[in-house]
Amino acid sequence: MKDATPSMVLLSEYRAPDWVVEDLDLRFDLDPASTRVESLIRVRRAEGAEAGAALRLHGRDLELLRLEVDGKAPESGAVTTDAEGLLLTGLPDSAAITVETCIRPEANTALEGLYVSGGTLCTQCEPEGFRRITYFPDRPDVLTRYRVRLEADASRYPVLLANGNRVEAGELPAGRHYAVWEDPFPKPSYLFALVAGDLSCVSDRFTTRSGREVALEVYVEHHNRDRCAHALASLKRAMRYDEDAFGREYDLDVYMIVAVEDFNMGAMENKGLNLFNAKYVLASPETATDNDYVHIEGVIAHEYFHNWSGNRVTCRDWFQLSLKEGLTVFRDQEFTTDCTLFGVKRIDDAQGLRAFQFPEDAGPLAHPVRPDRYAEINNFYTMTVYEKGAELIRMLRTLIGREAFRRGLDLYFERFDGQAVTTEDFVDVMAEASGRDLARFRRWYTQAGTPRVTARTHFDSRVGALQIDLEQETPPTPGQQEKHPLHIPVRLSLLGRDGRVLPARLEGAAEATEFVVELTEEAQSFRLSGLREAPAAVSWLRGFSAPVRLDAGQGTAELAHLVVHDDDAFARWDALQALLRRAVIARIGSEPDPVLEAALTTAIGALLEDSGIEPVVLATLLDLPSHRELMESFERADPVAVDAARHAVEQAVFQPLAERLASGAPDPGRWDDGAFTAEAMGQRRLLNRILALRVAIGAAGAVEDAVRQYREARSQTLAMGALAAVNDSADPARGELLADFERRHRADPLVLDKWFALESGSQVGDGLARLERLLDHPGFRWSNPNRVRAVLGPFMAQNHRHFHREDGAGYQRLADYLEHLDSLNPQTSARLAQPLTRWQRLDPARSAQMRQVLERLAGKDLSPDLADVIQRALAR
């Protein structure tokens, strides 16, 4: 990065491919040290392509052994080699191209392309990993049929898998064997996968709605056989749900999931052969928490749903990434809402969006849901593309209604089946299905930044009408100074003095108790009429109807009324969050606000008495706004002071409730059954939240209760709940419990990751020295992304005191680690570098320290991935 400005890929330069790939025959001679890949592609000049158009074959870090066109070495001058790969000129209108390459899986620490994880050979091709396997037009709009022959040592690699159906297999001389796989569905190269290993297969069956028998197979290391039941059950639930809720059926005879220990992301939706980070497959009540169970179910469903939203209908280019990711996240959110978490899912998602996506949208890495330029596409697997992308789909449904939305989706899958399309195409079918004008809505895809909506109301008692004045404004983001109004659905209700929703009429429409007003201009007014009393409170943005920051100028009394009465779980939670946020801000700015804090104690006290609130919702209501979200309330802030203020508010508000908390907590013994039911998980969430609160406020007996809960726990949920509760406590019990946990789970990587994360995130003692000891732990491996993330992630996200040390040592150390990680795994180093990009939002002293560290990093020899992140972070 020292010299070059990385070259930008621009959406405006997109051109349809000049060549069609008719089919692809791949042969792998597998060996971890050196694998030979022979590829035979039949190509045909695309209709409309220029006669002289060259054929681009992408390739990276490949040793080229042989290249032939129609069985002959190409003439000299017909092949150019450049940074992207090969360019073939002078081809006839159709040709057969043979490429033989040699690759080195064992030396592949980037975990893109073909690599080795725990002795298993496996692939990761999205977005541009296929070019590390062979020379090929590695772009998502080139779809073709694959036939794949795998050959390997039979004892080391008894299992040989690729996409589609196994059509042939057999023994070979010298202890080798082979298998041939054919995928009947044309697919882009990013969906290619192969696996060779010594794995156990845990299987099940599923019969689709139309009667297709599907074999479900989960492949894991032998000793993990007994941890696959939840993954399989989740898969079957997801398959049924996609039929019931979206009318989508599975299309092959086998669905395979392979779990590997070393994986850059969560999982990958390769056609018929998903590859998973083992973290999102393996579970037993003793080793996985309820959260893990929920995430496993969600990721399994997500990858399964991709079979339609992503695989059958794919992306034209990588600018369209949200076409598949936003839609698929939306689909998995619906699934988790309807099957597992119900009302609380929306709150969790809103919380995540505010804590992670809003900061991204307000920082130097901000980009639209459909970006129009990138230097490194790996860096665009973001909260914006995924989570904000899902919010756009949800808003579309809110605007056009559920029925039109479903018709639009059916039309989308039908019309574009087997094609590579754009987000514009998606919105087009929604407009067509609904007859609505969505022109202004499309801006959501191209405009970055979180809109601020200001809302004010005025009640006219003479005519019984409420006037609603809305304004919107989106702050500038890098490269986008000018912003335009968006189409924003604001869902709202009015609450009367008795707490019930008031019926009214929006702009003369039929009487209702919930309204969606559509803000499309910079400023607009709406009118709710037919009101017999003045509303006591407005319940805004119900169900988090749009990913915006809303300022409704509500006073303490109005918000407290919502906390007690609002029947929308999100809006109720949001009202309480607003009050808590105010209390924290008051402590940072000037003085604590004792009146506000007392009002909070009263309101929360009432919630604790209210038997009508579900435990899971209550647990969520007891959460304070996250540190990350609070940081967003300031132009610049001292992160250590924000953390301290947050804890001070927690103390002040909850200390008077210590006894009620203790008596209101569910009994650990009663709920420690590891049952994956909403009821049991809700009770466990509540009891763990109360335990953490009690320890945090120094309640009598709280640490002892945590120790007992840990010692008696049968489930990982309760053990982790106890450990998390004491993790920031100065009590010596903390060290004893953590040491015990490490001894017990040393041999179990996924559980040991939890120990690493607790140690790294703990603010007690000397955090930097402890971080160093973690890296010296015999279980630490730079080559394992889960382990690296467990050690470095919580240090930056939770260990404010030590990461943000005033002398800058925390930043420097992290930068050194990231530089080392970058030499091995660029994708993971670039993702982990994110907290170091927030320097502009820190207090001046820390800001300067962090910037210096970034500048120093920028002078190093970095991967394009990390270089791109640092460069954008430093650009002003």
Residue whose CB is less far from Zn ion, 323 or 622: 323
When the beta carbons of 277 and 472 are compared against Zn ion, the nearer one is 277
Rounded-to-integer distance, Cα 238 and Cα 437, Å: 33
Question: Interface mask (CB under 5 A) for Zn ion, residues 274-313, using x and -?
Answer: ----------------------------------------
Phi, psi of 29 (to 5 degrees): -105, 95
Residue 806: how many other CB atoms lie within 10 Å: 12
Residue nearest to ligand PHE (CB): 265
**Could you tell me the smallest distance in angstroms from the CB atom of residue 410 to Zn ion?**
21
Q: Which does 265 bind (CB under 5 to 8 A by kind): ligand PHE, Zn ion, none?
A: ligand PHE
Span 327-356, contacts to Zn ion by CB under 5 A: 328
The span from the CA of 427 to the CA of 505, in Å, is 30
Between 379 and 474, CB nearer to ligand PHE: 379
Nearer to ligand PHE, 302 or 754 (CB): 302
Pick 325 or 334: Cβ nearer ligand PHE: 325
Q: How far is the CB of 243 from ligand PHE (least distance, A)?
A: 20
Closest residue by Cα to residue 350 from 647, 567, 563, 576:
576
Stretch that binds Zn ion, among 326-334, 504-512, 521-529, 671-679 (CB under 5 A): 326-334
Residue 745 interacting partner from ligand PHE, Zn ion, none (CB closer than 5 to 8 Å by kind): none
User: Residue 873, SS3?
Assistant: helix
Edge-first strand order for the sheet with 85-88 is: 55-58, 85-88, 79-82
How far apart are alpha carbons 95 and 20 in whole angstroms?
11
Q: State the minimum distance, in angstroms, from the CB of residue 826 to ligand PHE.
A: 13
Distance CA 134, CA 27 (A): 11
- Window 403 to 442, contacts with Zn ion (CB under 5 A): none
329 or 842: whose CB is closer to ligand PHE? Answer: 329
Task: Examine the residue annotation and report whether 471 is marked as an active-site residue of this protein.
Answer: no
DSSP states of 513-547 = S-EEEEE-SSEEEEEEE--SS--SEEE-STT--SS
* Closer residue to ligand PHE, CB minimum distance, 304 or 676: 304
- Annotated catalytic residue, options 261, 297, 303, 360: 303
Min dist CB 467 to ligand PHE, Å, is: 44
Cβ-based neighbours of 661, under 8 Å, separated by 6 or more? 608, 654, 690, 693, 694, 699
Partner that binds at residue 334, options Zn ion, ligand PHE, none, CB closer than 5 to 8 Å by kind: none
Beta strand extents in 192-302 (DSSP E only): 194-197, 200-207, 213-220, 254-260, 267-268, 273-277
Between β-strands 254-260 and 273-277, what pairing exists: parallel, antiparallel or unpaired? parallel
Residue from 330, 309, 299, 265 nearest 112 by CA? 265
Only one of the segments 277-285, 319-327, 552-560, 735-743 lies at the binding site for Zn ion (rule: CB under 5 A); that segment is 319-327
Least distance to ligand PHE, CB of residue 496, Å: 45
Residue of 233, 235, 304, 214 whose CA lies nearest to 268: 304
The entry of Zn ion, ligand PHE, none near residue 311 (CB within 5 to 8 angstroms by kind) is none
H/E segment holding residue 460? strand 452-460
Q: How far is the CB of 507 from ligand PHE (least distance, A)?
A: 41
By C-beta, is 302 or 345 nearer to ligand PHE? 302
Q: Which residues contact 207 (CB under 8 A, 6 or more apart)?
A: 213, 214
Minimum gap (Å) between residue 828 Cβ and ligand PHE? 11
Min dist. Cβ of residue 376 to ligand PHE (A): 12
Site string for Zn ion, 708-747 (x = CB under 5 A): ----------------------------------------
CB of 130 to Zn ion, least distance (A): 17
How many residues are present in the chain?
876
287 binds, among ligand PHE, Zn ion, none (CB under 5 to 8 A by kind): none
Q: Which residues lie near ligand PHE (CB under 6 A)?
A: 124, 126, 264-265, 267-269, 302-303, 325, 381
List, in order, residues 6 or more apart from 813 with CB less than 8 Å away: 768, 771
Q: What angle do CA 444, 447, 450 make, to 5 degrees?
A: 80
CB atoms within 10 A of CB 7: 9
Q: Select from ligand PHE, Zn ion, none the partner in contact with residue 124, using the beta carbon and a kind-dependent cut-off of 5 to 8 Å.
A: ligand PHE
**Which residue, 92, 86, 80, is CA-closest to 45?**
92
> Which is closer to ligand PHE, CB of 269 or CB of 822?
269
Alpha-helical runs (H) found in 316-422: 321-336, 343-352, 358-362, 383, 389-400, 402-416
Using the rule CB under 5 A, give the single segment among 31-39, 324-332, 454-462, 565-573 that binds Zn ion. 324-332
Nearer to Zn ion, 381 or 570 (CB): 381
How far is the CA of 258 from the CAs of 119, 273, 281, 326, 387, in angstroms? Answer: 13, 7, 9, 24, 26
Query: Of 30, 126, 112, whose CA–CA distance to 824 is shortest?
Result: 112
391: left (phi over 0), alpha (psi -120 to 50) or beta: alpha
Chain-centroid distance of CA 836 in Å reads 19
- Closer of 354 and 831 to ligand PHE (Cβ): 831
CB atoms within 10 A of CB 576: 26
Which residues on neighbouring strands pair with residue 544, listed in sequence order? none
Q: Which of ligand PHE, Zn ion, none interacts with 126 (beta carbon under 5 to 8 A by kind)?
A: ligand PHE
Write down the least CB distance from residue 193 to ligand PHE, Å: 11
Q: Smallest distance, Å, CB 298 to ligand PHE?
A: 11
The least CB distance from residue 540 to ligand PHE, in Å, is 32
Who's near 630: CB < 8 A, 6+ residues apart?
A: 581, 584, 585, 637, 642, 645, 646
Nearest CA to 572 among 607, 598, 602?
607
194-217 burial, b for 16+ CB within 10 Å, e for fewer? bbbbebeebebebebeeeeebebb
Select the span of 275-283, 318-326, 535-543, 748-756 touching Zn ion (CB under 5 A). Answer: 318-326
Which of these segments, 214-222, 325-333, 422-430, 810-818, binds Zn ion (CB under 5 A)? Answer: 325-333
Q: Which of 204, 240, 199 is nearest to 223 (CA)?
A: 199
H/E stretch holding 680: helix 678-696
- When the beta carbons of 108 and 328 are compared against Zn ion, the nearer one is 328
User: 518 near 453, Cβ under 8 Å?
Assistant: no
Query: Which of ligand PHE, Zn ion, none interacts with 643 (beta carbon under 5 to 8 A by kind)?
Result: none
Nearer to ligand PHE, 124 or 333 (CB): 124
Least distance from C-beta 825 to ligand PHE, angstroms?
12
Instruction: Give how far Cα 847 sits from Cα of 52, 793, 856, 872, 876, Å.
Output: 54, 20, 14, 16, 14
Strands 549-551 and 452-460, sheet pairing = parallel
* Binding positions for Zn ion, rule: CB under 5 A: 325, 328
Active site residues: 303
